[in-house]
C-alpha cells in the first residue's frame, strides 16, 4: 500500500500540476512553442510513468512480495504458462531453423521424428517453467501447498523425535518467509520451547505459563495453537520481518500446518513423558532401597545387635546371679518380639503377606483399621488379580490414605473397590479441606508416583478435588 500511495501521489501531483498549468499559461499569454510546452513536458513525463509503469509495478510488488489478495498462486500459474510458451516457441524456432529444410526435403518420417522429439521436450520444459515462475513469485519462500506437501512427506519418513521438531520449525520458517520460527510443547500448565529456526535464533524464555487453554503473548512473535482431537498440545510461533508482515494467506498456511503437526507433538510428548516416567521410577526405586537400608540399619539391625549383647550378659550371669539372669531373659523375650514386629512391618512395606494370602479387600481393611481417621472399605465384585495389579492398587491406595491422614483434615473417609466391564477401579474419598487441582504443588511426588505406577500396567489416575469440598483419588486398571 505504501508503494501504491507513493506512485499515486506522484501521478495525482502531476495531473494537478498539468490542470493548473493550462489556465496559468492562458492567463499569462505564453505561446505554445515556448516555456508552456517545456513545463508541460516536465510534468507529463513523471505523470505518465507513474500511471502506466508505477501503479502496475506497485501492484506487482504488493502481490508478489506481500501476497495481496492471495493472487500470488494465480500469477505463478500465469507465469508458468507464459514461460512455457516462450520456451516452446524458442525450441520450435530453433528446430525449424536447424531441421526445417531437411525435414521438408526428407519426407514425412523425419518430420514425425522431429515432432516426437519436440513432444518429449514438453515435460522438462514445463518443469523449468514452474521453477522459474515459483522463483519469481515466491522468491526464497516455498509455495503454500509445497510447504504442506513437504511437511507431510517429512512426517511420513522415519526420523527420531530430535529431528522431527527442528525440521518442522525449518519448514515453517522457510514457507512463510519468517525471520524466526519456534515449536512449543505443552507440559503441565507451561509451554516449553522445544526447538527454533534458524539455529542462531535468539533464545527466549524456556517456558511460559498458561491459564486454561489460552495461549500467552510472546513479544515480537505470533502464536498459533496446535491441537489433536480437540486437546491443546503446544503451539507454533513465528517472527515476521517488518517489511513482510503477517497476512491472511500466511495465517491460513500456518493453521493448516498446525493441524498436521498435532499428531507429531502428541508423539513427542508421549515419548518425553515415558522417559520422564522411567527416570522417576528409577529415582523412586533408588530412594526406596535407601529407605529400606536405613530402616534395617537403624531399626532391626540395632535391635539384633542389642539382643546379642544381652545374650552375652545372660551367659555370664547364669552362675553368678541367676535372678538377674532370669530378668534379662524376660527382657530378651520382649526385645525379640519387638524386633520381629519391626521386621514384619518392613516386610509389609515390601509386599504385605495379607495381600498375597487374602487379596486387596482384606489388606486394605487391615490398613484402614490402623488409620487415625475412621475409614470404611467397600468392595463390589472384586476378585483375585495378578500380583502386579494387586500391588499397584494396594500401594496407590496406601499412599492416598497416608496423604489423607497427613493433609486432608478429614473426619471420615471411604475406600471403594469395584470391577465393571473388565476394569478394576479403586477410589479413596474424604470430606477434608481439599485443594485446587492443577495449582502449584498439587501434583507432588506422591501423586506422580501413583500415576507412574498405574501407567506402568496400563492404568490411569484421576484426582477430583476443590477447596472445601474434599478429595477423591480415582484409579482404573484394565483386568479383562
DSSP per position, 91-107? HHHHHHHHHHHHHHHS-
Q: Give residue for cell 506481500.
A: 66
What pLDDT sits at residue 299?
65
What pLDDT sits at residue 77?
62
Cα–Cα distances in angstroms (integers) from residue 65 to residues 6, 70, 139, 480, in the given order: 17, 11, 8, 61
What pLDDT sits at residue 133?
56
Report which DSSP code applies to 423: E
Q: pLDDT tens digits for the chain (480 residues)? A: 777 788 888 888 888 877 777 677 666 665 555 666 667 777 777 888 888 888 888 877 776 666 565 555 556 566 666 666 666 666 656 655 665 555 555 555 555 555 555 555 555 666 665 566 555 555 545 455 566 666 665 555 545 556 778 888 887 887 777 888 888 888 777 888 888 888 777 766 667 777 777 787 777 788 888 888 888 888 888 888 876 777 777 788 788 888 878 878 888 777 777 777 777 776 777 777 777 776 676 666 767 777 777 788 788 788 888 888 888 888 888 878 877 877 777 666 667 778 888 889 998 998 888 888 899 999 888 889 988 889 889 888 988 988 888 888 899 999 999 998 889 999 999 999 988 876 544 556 678 878 888 888 889 999 999 888 899 999 999 987
Report which DSSP code applies to 68: G
Q: What is the dihedral of CA 250, 251, 257, 259, to 10 degrees?
A: -160
User: Which residues touch 283 (CB under 8 Å, ≥6 apart)?
Assistant: none
What pLDDT sits at residue 376?
93
Cα–Cα distances in angstroms (integers) from residue 429 to residues 32, 355, 389, in the given order: 103, 21, 21
3-state helix, strand, coil in the chain (%, to 5): 65, 15, 20
Q: 19 in helix, strand or coil?
A: helix
Is residue 418 a contact partner of residue 425, using CB atoms and an 8 Å limit?
Answer: yes
Q: Give residue for cell 546371679.
A: 321
Q: How buried is 367 (Cβ within 10 angstroms: 0-12 exposed, 13-18 middle, 19+ buried)?
A: buried
What pLDDT sits at residue 14?
81
Backbone angles phi, psi at 341, to 5 degrees: -65, -40
User: Which residues touch 431 (CB under 8 Å, ≥6 apart)?
Assistant: 410, 411, 412, 413, 470
Q: What is the CA radius of gyration of the chain?
A: 41
What pLDDT sits at residue 29?
61
Segments of 173-304 assigned E as strands: 180-187, 190-197, 207-209, 222-228, 231-239
What pLDDT sits at residue 462?
92
Distance in angstroms (rounded) separating the CA atoms of residues 323 and 309: 18
Which H or E run includes 461? strand 460-465
Q: How many residues does the chain have?
A: 480
What pLDDT sits at residue 377?
93
Cα–Cα distances in angstroms (integers) from residue 459 to residues 229, 410, 454, 475, in the given order: 21, 27, 5, 7
What pLDDT sits at residue 193?
82
What pLDDT sits at residue 471?
93
Is residue 237 a contact partner of residue 221, using CB atoms and an 8 Å limit?
Answer: yes
Beta bridge partners of 376: 414
Q: Which of 415, 324, 311 is nearest to 362 (CA)?
A: 415
Q: How buried is 459 (Cβ within 10 angstroms: 0-12 exposed, 13-18 middle, 19+ buried)?
A: buried
Amino acid at each position: 500500500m505504501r508503494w501504491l500511495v507513493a506512485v499515486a501521489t506522484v501521478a495525482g501531483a502531476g495531473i494537478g500540476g498539468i490542470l493548473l498549468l493550462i489556465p496559468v499559461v492562458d492567463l499569462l499569454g505564453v505561446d505554445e512553442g515556448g516555456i508552456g510546452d517545456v513545463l508541460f513536458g516536465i510534468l507529463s513525463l513523471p505523470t505518465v510513468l507513474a500511471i502506466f509503469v508505477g501503479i502496475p509495478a506497485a501492484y506487482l510488488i504488493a502481490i508478489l512480495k506481500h501476497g495481496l489478495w492471495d493472487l500470488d498462486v494465480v500469477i505463478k500459474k500465469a507465469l508458468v504458462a507464459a514461460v512455457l510458451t516462450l520456451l516452446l516457441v524458442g525450441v520450435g524456432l530453433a528446430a525449424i531453423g536447424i531441421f526445417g529444410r531437411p525435414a521438408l526435403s526428407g519426407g514425412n518420417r523425419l518430420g514425425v521424428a522431429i515432432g516426437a522429439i519436440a513432444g518429449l521436450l514438453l515435460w522438462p520444459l514445463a518443469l523449468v517453467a514452474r521453477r522459474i515462475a515459483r522463483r519469481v513469485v515466491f522468491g526464497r519462500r516455498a509455495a503454500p501447498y509445497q510447504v504442506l506437501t513437504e511437511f507431510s512427506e517429512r512426517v511420513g519418513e522415519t526420523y527420531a523425535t530430535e529431528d522431527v521438531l527442528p525440521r518442522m520449525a525449518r519448514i515453517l520458517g522457510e514457507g512463510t518467509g519468517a525471520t524466526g520460527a519456534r515449536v512449543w510443547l505443552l507440559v503441565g500448565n507451561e509451554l516449553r520451547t522445544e526447538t527454533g529456526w534458524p539455529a542462531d535464533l535468539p533464545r527466549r524464555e524456556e517456558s511460559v505459563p498458561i491459564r486454561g487453554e489460552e495461549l500467552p503473548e510472546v513479544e515480537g512473535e505470533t502464536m498459533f495453537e496446535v491441537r489433536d482431537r480437540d486437546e491443546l498440545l503446544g503451539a507454533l510461533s513465528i517472527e515476521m520481518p517488518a517489511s513482510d508482515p503477517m497476512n491472511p494467506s500466511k495465517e491460513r498456511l500456518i493453521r493448516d500446518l498446525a493441524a498436521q503437526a498435532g499428531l507429531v507433538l502428541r508423539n513427542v510428548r508421549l515419548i518425553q513423558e515415558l522417559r520422564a516416567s522411567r527416570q522417576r521410577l528409577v529415582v523412586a526405586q533408588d530412594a526406596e532401597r535407601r529407605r529400606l537400608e536405613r530402616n534395617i540399619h537403624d531399626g532391626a539391625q540395632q535391635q539384633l545387635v542389642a539382643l546379642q549383647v544381652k545374650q552375652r550378659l545372660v551367659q555370664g550371669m547364669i552362675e553368678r546371679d541367676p535372678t538377674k539372669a532370669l530378668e534379662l531373659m524376660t527382657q530378651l523375650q520382649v526385645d525379640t518380639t519387638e524386633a520381629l514386629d519391626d521386621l514384619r512391618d518392613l516386610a509389609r512395606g515390601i509386599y504385605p503377606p495379607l495381600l498375597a494370602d487374602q487379596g486387596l479387600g482384606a489388606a486394605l481393611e487391615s490398613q484402614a483399621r490402623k488409620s487415625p481417621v475412621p475409614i470404611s472399605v467397600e468392595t463390589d465384585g472384586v476378585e483375585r488379580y495378578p500380583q502386579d495389579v494387586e500391588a499397584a492398587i494396594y500401594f496407590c491406595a496406601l499412599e492416598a490414605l497416608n496423604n489423607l491422614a497427613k493433609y486432608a483434615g478429614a473426619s471420615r473417609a471411604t475406600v471403594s473397590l469395584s470391577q465393571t466391564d473388565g476394569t478394576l477401579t479403586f477410589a479413596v474419598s474424604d470430606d477434608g479441606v481439599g485443594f485446587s487441582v492443577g495449582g502449584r504443588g498439587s501434583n507432588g511426588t506422591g501423586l506422580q508416583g501413583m500415576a507412574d505406577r498405574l501407567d506402568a500396567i496400563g492404568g490411569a489416575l484421576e484426582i477430583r478435588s476443590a477447596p472445601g469440598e474434599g478429595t477423591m483419588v480415582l484409579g482404573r486398571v484394565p483386568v479383562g
